[in-house]
């Protein structure tokens, strides 16, 4: 969940930087990186919440 929280702030910040510098040569790589970080934030949030919910309801994974 901590890594997800870090990605939740880093991804949109990088996206803002990319959109504010559209004339620079690193616009496309920075935009792709920020989209990847945003999707990782969503993925890690779902994995973390699933882990928390499984531990609360004592569900074992087999």
**Per-run averaged pLDDT (10 residues), the chain, 62 residues:** 94 94 90 96 95 84 58
Pairwise CA distance, residues 40 & 7, whole Å = 7
Residues 15 and 28: beta-carbon distance below 8 Å = no
Other Cβ atoms within 10 Å of 18 Cβ, number: 20
Question: What pLDDT score was predicted for residue 45?
Answer: 96
Question: What pLDDT score was predicted for residue 58?
Answer: 80
């Amino acid at each position: 969940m901590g890594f997800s929280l870090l990605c939740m702030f880093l991804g949109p910040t990088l996206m803002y930087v990319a959109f504010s510098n559209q004339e620079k040569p690193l616009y496309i790589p920075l935009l792709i990186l920020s989209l990847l970080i945003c999707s990782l934030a969503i993925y890690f949030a779902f994995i973390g919440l699933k882990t928390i919910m499984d531990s609360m309801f004592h569900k074992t994974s087999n």
